[in-house]
Structure 1
Amino acid sequence: MCGIFFSICNRNDQPSICRRNEIYQDISKSLARRGPDDHQVIETDCGDVGLYFGGWVLHMQGEQICPQPAQSKDGNILLWNGEIFDGLDVSPGQSDTTALLSSLDKCDDEGILQLLSCIEGPWSFVYYRRTNSKVYFGRDYFGRRSLVWNWDQNTLTLASVCSRNASWEEVVGCGIFCINLKDSQSGFKKSTVLHPWRCITNRKPKVCEEFQTGRILNTAMHTKYKYEADNYPLVDLPHISSSVEPLTNLAKSCSERNLWPLCREFIAKLKRSVMKRTSAHTSIGDKCNIGVLFSGGIDCTVLALLADIFVPEDEAIDLLNVAFEQQRKLTKTKQGNVLLNDNIYEVPDRITGRSSYQELKDLCPKRIWHFVEINVTLEELRGKRVERISMLSCPKSTVLDDSIACAIWFASRGEGLLNGEQKYRSDSRVLLCGMGADEQLAGYSRHRGIYDRNNDWGAVSDEINMEVERIAARNLGRDDRIISDHSKEARFPYLDEEVVQFLCSLPVHIKADLRLERGIGEKILLRGAAYDLGLHGAAVAPKRAIQFGSRIAKAENRKEKGGDSCERLKNNFASQISL
């Protein structure tokens, strides 16, 4: 993984060059936090166009660091912030960057697009092909790696994070962009062609009116098979008494609908996904450090249990559980005595986290599990929001962005307590994250609301499809910027190409049965899988969004809606600019 900085402008345009240097100086410290192990710069030109490449490396594999940017003997240059899990042969011990640059150099224009379309894994990149004077850049289908851009007159700057002295937007995660530098006299933007991804949900390809549209690209997720919906009809629910335990209800519902074979197929695909993200590309010497962003909910607990299969038995796995300081409350006993509730970090995610931690210990007694209690005071929350988080969240700026960014930043930092008293800081460079499960398996309350209002499975399916297609724009770039600020890499097993293609092929009522009660119906396929794995507590744990489970939404006692513009982020970002 690395931090990317790239800029093109007219090499005789001194104001643009000064502007580029100003942005570079402002952004370099944040990029160095993403990639602390190596850094270099390459500056070159193509006619009157000056190109500036800066790369920062987080060393994740092999004995030798592969510098970024990488340059071939033909003068082609690659900035690669990603992992190749499939779609391109990478020899043992070989750097992804080296393998990709070598393969790209052998391709023609069409071959470059085809090769990038086949790669499975998270990535963002910039590739300059000197032989045809073209620059290619973009993000993977889900936008799992951050890339932002600034168009300033006749200058383009691309970076992994935003600076404080320019206006930034997320690079649209809808395809691969190509700029022909020989045809840029009228401006780089006008000479940019977008080759859009074909939507995996059969929606219309996402295009951008600002750019010319090139050929539509398939991805590794465009499968040749589909499950026939007729093979999985929507059956009537069995009559279950309200007194039946949720776990019994879940098992009966899966049995009545014959979900167990699909649950096990789902487990098999998740296992392969977790294996790729824990066994490969994580080792430095003989050491492999894995952590999990861990609320105790079903998504992350399943990932932790599957990670146990592939992480060497003598290594610990860190379970990072965050809670925000709550107001102390006075309560009266039956005897009329007033007690002060001093347990200010006993939030819902701490409670479910401990419960699921115990389940993992029972199922995997040989594993050392580090349950890290990360307690965040209001003072530290406000200080770090100003110092780091507001800039990393940018260009995202809603109340929801603020809550999620703060929670993930402190969780991924990994500073907390073991056993409630021993200070501990996680050194795990790879963090498994459960993002993507709710979007694909109807895990949010809005999915249930849509079904309750319309009694329409088609409307729920449309909502899921929309959320899958917009996930690149909605949150994953933000999450990558936040987690990478600690020199750590986020990995998203639920967004593995094979997992997504499997889930996209299933009828919506197989993935979620919203006729069933909360904690069972949503994500029923995953709940059945968890039950089959022995996670009987996590299998019926209700969904709580991180902002509510960690109680950051109540920590500052503000009455706000998630979609509102967050003045804290804007004001803090503005105050950073004036420093």
Structure 2
Amino acid sequence: MCGIFFSICNRNDQPIHFKNEIYQDISESLARRGPDDHQVIETECGNVGLYFAGWVLHMQGQQICSQPAQSKKGNILLWNGEVFDGLKVSPGQSDTTALLSSLDKCDDEEILQLLSCIEGPWSFVYYHLANSKVYFGRDYFGRRSLVWNWDENTLTLASVCSRNASWEEVAGCGIFCVNIKDGQSGFKKSIVLHPWKCITNPRPKVCEDFQTGRILNTAMHTKYKYKLDNYPLVDLPHISSHVEPLTILAKSCSDKNLWPVCREFIAKLKRSVMKRTSAHTSTGENCNIGVLFSGGVDCSVLALLADIYIPKDEAIDLLNVAFEQRRKLSKTKQSNALVKDNIYEVPDRITGRSSYQELKDLCPKRKWNFVEINVTLEELGEKRVERISMLSCPKSTVLDDSIACAIWFASRGEGLLNGEQKYRSNARVLLCGMGADEQLAGYSRHRGIYDRNNDWGAVGDEINMEVERISARNLGRDDRIISDHGKEARFPYFDEEVVQFLCSLPVHVKADLRLERGIGEKILLRGAAYDLGLHGAAVAPKRAIQFGSRIAKAENRKEKGGDSCERLKNNFASQIHIFKNAKL
């Protein structure tokens, strides 16, 4: 993984790149993403200057591959990604080295074809000297951050952005290309977008902003296609409300003949987790892998599957975050003490402990570190101003703020073991459960659509839309947040093979919204968890991280998630004043 900075400008119109204001604003954040190595290459093409800077977090290969990487032909690559499939990478070889070597052999058309075949999370900038073109983009799901900023004579690309300029996320809708010679009169006008084939209908708005080039095939085909005869929708028998949820889940999976599909899903997830837990170089620490862990079914399944592939002498860190809850005034010292002792006893802490115990019972030879990450209101305000507000940019809603804060503290990994021993996780790879809710109808809006329309097709259309637009929503933000700690996020539910498998299934196999909450949504994953022995996690209620960690309640604000968040704009002193008053 690396931090990327690239700037291209007419040399007569702009100062030296590495001294410009944008670079100075974000270089510290880029260095935090890649603490192991840093390199700069500056070159020119006619009257156009090109500036490449890279910061490396060493994850693959026996030796660090410095970035930007330059070939003997003069081609330059900035690569922030992992190659899981679509390109041969020899054992012990850096994927950056393998990719640059392959790109060196390609002409213009072959460059596009090679990049579109790579499976895994990535963002990149590639300068091809012979044709004077710069290619850049993000993978289909936008799992790695890439943002851009431009004016008439300058184009800047980076992994993170600043508050002091107008930035946008690069859309994960294809590969962009700038012909440097054509761009001397204005780089934006010369950008050509080569869109992914699977998202050209309906045509995204971003396609209208640029010239459209060749339509690219990808490994992804996300529109759901299935034969209903293979998965008939069966009537549900009447089940008494007194029956335990676990019994209802097991009976429903049996009645619907879901167990074979659950096991096929487990096989796909196993392969996904295997790729994401083996594609890294050991740091020599006792723990190399962590899990963002609420105790819910999504993350618990990932943790259990990770146990299969991680050496038994390594620990796995389960990172569980909770935010300080306001203390209610009490009349007695005894009740005051009780309230104080429970200010971090939030829903995710409770389910986290329960699922942690299940993992210990199922995998007794593994050392599981359940890390209780407790965040005070003062520290929340401080780190929001120091780090999180800039990393969230260009995202700026109340929901972005809540999720970004929760993920930043969780991924930092500073907390307590056994409720008392101070601990900081050194895991550089973090498994994240994002993607399960979008694909398996885990959100309340999915149930609302079904309840209003009694139409599985409408729910399927919503799922399809959410998967197609995911690159424009959350994952770039999450990458910026997690990478700030010199760690890498990996998303097993967004593995290309997993996504295509789920897209091949009808909605009622993935979720049965006729069943009650905590069972019907994500029933395929819940059935898989049951089959793996995670009986408690299988029926754990769905809670978004901002509610499970109680960050949404900690500040006691009546806001809507889509509102613009003023806290991301406020200065530190004003926030500390607000939080101190909030505790009174």
Q: Distance in 1 between matches of 2:223 and 2:557?
A: 49
Q: Distance in 2 between matches of 1:35 and 1:45?
A: 26
TM-aligned CA distance change 1:222 to 1:465, over 3 Å:
closer
Q: Which of 339, 342, 357 does residue 341 from structure 1 map onto?
A: 339
Q: Distance in 2 between matches of 1:337 and 1:24?
A: 53
Q: How does 1:253-332 map to 2 (within 5 A)?
A: 253-284=252-283, 289-329=288-328
Q: Distance in 2 between matches of 1:365 and 1:427?
A: 22
CA shift at 1:225, angstroms?
11
CA shift at 1:352, angstroms?
0.2
Q: What residue identity is the alignment partner of 1:52?
A: Y
Q: Distance in 1 between matches of 2:254 and 2:374?
A: 41
Q: Distance in 2 between matches of 1:337 and 1:268?
A: 50
* Deviation digits for residues 306-342 of structure 1 (CA, Å, limit 9, x no counterpart): 0000000011000000000001235799xx9887422
Q: Distance in 2 between matches of 1:30 and 1:78?
A: 20
CA shift at 1:280, angstroms?
2.1
Q: Distance in 2 between matches of 1:180 and 1:573?
A: 43
1:373 match: secondary structure? strand
TM-aligned CA distance change 1:453 to 1:332, over 3 Å:
farther
Q: Is contact 1:331–1:340 with CA below 8 Å preserved after alignment?
A: no
Instruction: Choose 100-109 or 17-26, whichever is displaced more.
Output: 17-26
Instruction: Choose 18-27 or 213-222, whichever is displaced more.
Output: 18-27
Match of 1:8 in 2: 8
Q: Distance in 1 between matches of 2:291 and 2:463?
A: 25
TM-aligned CA distance change 1:373 to 1:117, over 3 Å:
same
Match of 1:474 in 2: 473
* Structure 1 portions without partners, runs of 5+: none
Matched-pair identity in %:
90
Q: Distance in 2 between matches of 1:181 and 1:188?
A: 8
Q: Is contact 1:54–1:69 with CA below 8 Å preserved after alignment?
A: yes
* Deviation digits for residues 15-35 of structure 1 (CA, Å, limit 9, x no counterpart): 5x4696221122111100000
Match of 1:421 in 2: 420
* Deviation digits for residues 103-155 of structure 1 (CA, Å, limit 9, x no counterpart): 01111111111111111100000000001000000000000000000012210
Q: Distance in 2 between matches of 1:559 and 1:224?
A: 37
Q: Distance in 1 between matches of 2:169 and 2:2?
A: 17
Q: Distance in 2 between matches of 1:282 and 1:505?
A: 34
Q: Is contact 1:198–1:204 with CA below 8 Å preserved after alignment?
A: no
Q: Is contact 1:5–1:160 with CA below 8 Å preserved after alignment?
A: yes
2:473 match: secondary structure? helix
Match of 2:79 in 1: 80
TM-aligned CA distance change 1:432 to 1:242, over 3 Å:
same
Match of 2:539 in 1: 540
Q: What residue identity is the alignment partner of 2:104?
A: D
Q: Is contact 1:200–1:221 with CA below 8 Å preserved after alignment?
A: no
* Deviation digits for residues 453-490 of structure 1 (CA, Å, limit 9, x no counterpart): 11111111111111101111111000000000000000
2:291 match: secondary structure? strand
Match of 1:162 in 2: 161
2:474 match: secondary structure? helix
Q: What residue identity is the alignment partner of 2:183?
A: S
Q: How many residues align?
A: 573
Q: Is contact 1:291–1:320 with CA below 8 Å preserved after alignment?
A: yes
Q: Is contact 2:290–2:431 with CA below 8 Å preserved after alignment?
A: yes
Q: How does 1:427-466 map to 2 (within 5 A)?
A: 427-466=426-465
* Deviation digits for residues 418-465 of structure 1 (CA, Å, limit 9, x no counterpart): 000000000000000000110000001111111111111111111111
* Deviation digits for residues 489-519 of structure 1 (CA, Å, limit 9, x no counterpart): 0000000000001001111111111010000
Q: Distance in 1 between matches of 2:490 and 2:304?
A: 16
Q: Distance in 1 between matches of 2:222 and 2:451?
A: 32
Match of 2:362 in 1: 363
Q: Is contact 1:430–1:490 with CA below 8 Å preserved after alignment?
A: yes
Match of 2:483 in 1: 484
CA shift at 1:285, angstroms?
6.0
Q: Is contact 2:289–2:317 with CA below 8 Å preserved after alignment?
A: yes
CA shift at 1:55, angstroms?
0.2
TM-aligned CA distance change 1:104 to 1:18, over 3 Å:
closer
Q: Distance in 2 between matches of 1:464 and 1:514?
A: 14
1:54 match: secondary structure? strand
* Deviation digits for residues 193-234 of structure 1 (CA, Å, limit 9, x no counterpart): 101112379755664222001122121123999542221121
Q: How does 1:83-232 map to 2 (within 5 A)?
A: 83-199=82-198, 204=203, 207-222=206-221, 227-232=226-231
Q: What residue identity is the alignment partner of 2:2?
A: C
Structure 2 residue 40 is matched with structure 1 residue 36: no
1:161 match: secondary structure? coil
1:127 match: secondary structure? strand
Q: Distance in 2 between matches of 1:338 and 1:403?
A: 28
CA shift at 1:165, angstroms?
2.7
Q: What residue identity is the alignment partner of 1:439?
A: E
Structure 2 residue 91 is matched with structure 1 residue 55: no
Match of 2:580 in 1: none
Instruction: Choose 389-398 or 102-111, whichever is displaced more.
Output: 102-111
Q: What residue identity is the alignment partner of 2:163?
A: R
Q: Distance in 2 between matches of 1:534 and 1:156?
A: 52
Match of 1:522 in 2: 521
CA shift at 1:545, angstroms?
0.2
TM-aligned CA distance change 1:337 to 1:508, over 3 Å:
closer
Structure 2 residue 511 is matched with structure 1 residue 512: yes
CA shift at 1:375, angstroms?
0.1
2:176 match: secondary structure? strand
Q: Distance in 2 between matches of 1:301 and 1:353?
A: 9
CA shift at 1:36, angstroms?
0.4
2:25 match: secondary structure? helix
Q: Distance in 2 between matches of 1:351 and 1:139?
A: 37
2:493 match: secondary structure? helix
Q: Distance in 1 between matches of 2:143 and 2:522?
A: 22
TM-aligned CA distance change 1:569 to 1:48, over 3 Å:
same
Q: Distance in 1 between matches of 2:552 and 2:287?
A: 34
TM-aligned CA distance change 1:565 to 1:234, over 3 Å:
same
Instruction: Choose 161-170 or 422-431, whichever is displaced more.
Output: 161-170
TM-aligned CA distance change 1:49 to 1:102, over 3 Å:
same
TM-aligned CA distance change 1:93 to 1:138, over 3 Å:
same
Q: What residue identity is the alignment partner of 1:78?
A: L
Q: Distance in 2 between matches of 1:331 and 1:515?
A: 44
Once superposed, what is the RMSD of the aligned Cα atoms?
Answer: 2.2
TM-aligned CA distance change 1:374 to 1:339, over 3 Å:
closer
1:195 match: secondary structure? strand
CA shift at 1:535, angstroms?
0.3
Q: What residue identity is the alignment partner of 1:107?
A: C
TM-score (norm 2): 0.95
Q: Is contact 1:320–1:412 with CA below 8 Å preserved after alignment?
A: yes
2:232 match: secondary structure? coil
Q: Is contact 2:8–2:51 with CA below 8 Å preserved after alignment?
A: yes
1:146 match: secondary structure? coil
* Structure 2 portions without partners, runs of 5+: 576-584
1:199 match: secondary structure? helix
Q: Distance in 2 between matches of 1:9 and 1:199?
A: 33
Instruction: Choose 33-42 or 213-222, whichever is displaced more.
Output: 213-222
TM-aligned CA distance change 1:510 to 1:354, over 3 Å:
same
Q: Distance in 1 between matches of 2:320 and 2:91?
A: 34
Instruction: Choose 379-388 or 234-243, whichever is displaced more.
Output: 234-243
Instruction: Choose 566-575 or 178-187, whichever is displaced more.
Output: 566-575
TM-aligned CA distance change 1:241 to 1:346, over 3 Å:
same
TM-aligned CA distance change 1:530 to 1:206, over 3 Å:
farther
Q: What residue identity is the alignment partner of 1:181?
A: I
CA shift at 1:73, angstroms?
0.4
Q: Is contact 1:289–1:429 with CA below 8 Å preserved after alignment?
A: yes
Q: Is contact 1:290–1:432 with CA below 8 Å preserved after alignment?
A: yes
CA shift at 1:237, angstroms?
0.9
